[in-house]
């Protein structure tokens, strides 16, 4: 027979509330589709990307109305790539989509694929070094229009810092 006391009622209420409380959402895995969605939102809050890439860089889209950036962590494998889609909207280079890869194959004359080890992404995201050093020393592997990228180094650096601004769990690789 249960004991009905104020203490047992309080304990029962506390357990009921704890069971019905929403669970704290864990950080998305770095470079998983949900992380890419958060990165897209952060892009749209970064004036250096919005305005700094709105000119010639944005116009070079191969006629499709957007540029594509595929990203992945080298130590997790190419199959874990995610996609950011950037398009000209209201005079800015806005992120229109962040998530699983939907655009393939990429046009290497206008689109980008970038990958680095998890540790290197972390270093670049903290600002330990910028894109020139990352590319010169092979810390960031890069496929796409390199001369175009070199012409937008300030926004490119802001992009690398974006990786450090969007929380991401580094302990596991994104699901394939």
pLDDT tens-digit map of 24-52: 457 899 999 999 999 999 999 999 999 99
DSSP state of 95: E
| Local structure of 164: helix, strand or coil | helix
Query: In CATH, what number does 27-165 get?
Result: 3.30.1050.10
Provide the residue ranges of all domains of the chain, joining segments of one domain with +: 27-165
pLDDT tens-digit map of 78-127: 999 999 999 999 999 999 999 999 999 999 999 999 999 999 999 999 99
d(CA 37, CA 157): 20
Residue where the block lists tokens 């080890």: 117
């Amino acid at each position: 027979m249960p004991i009905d006391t104020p203490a047992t009622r309080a304990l029962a209420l506390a357990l009921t509330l704890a069971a019905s409380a929403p669970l704290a959402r864990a950080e998305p895995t770095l470079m998983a589709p949900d992380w890419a969605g958060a990165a897209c939102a952060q892009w749209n809050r970064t004036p250096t990307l919005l305005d700094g890439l709105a000119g010639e860089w944005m116009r070079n889209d191969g006629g499709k109305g957007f540029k594509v950036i595929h990203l992945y962590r080298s130590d997790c494998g190419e199959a874990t790539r995610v996609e950011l889609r950037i398009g000209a909207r209201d005079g800015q280079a806005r992120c229109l989509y962040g998530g699983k890869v939907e655009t393939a194959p990429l046009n290497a004359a206008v689109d980008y694929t970038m990958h680095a080890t998890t540790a290197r992404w972390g270093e670049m995201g903290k600002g330990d070094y910028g894109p020139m050093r990352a590319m010169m020393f092979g810390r960031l592997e890069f496929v796409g229009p390199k001369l175009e990228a070199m012409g937008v180094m300030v926004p490119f650096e802001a992009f690398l810092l974006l990786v450090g601004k969007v929380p991401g769990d580094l302990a596991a690789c994104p699901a394939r």
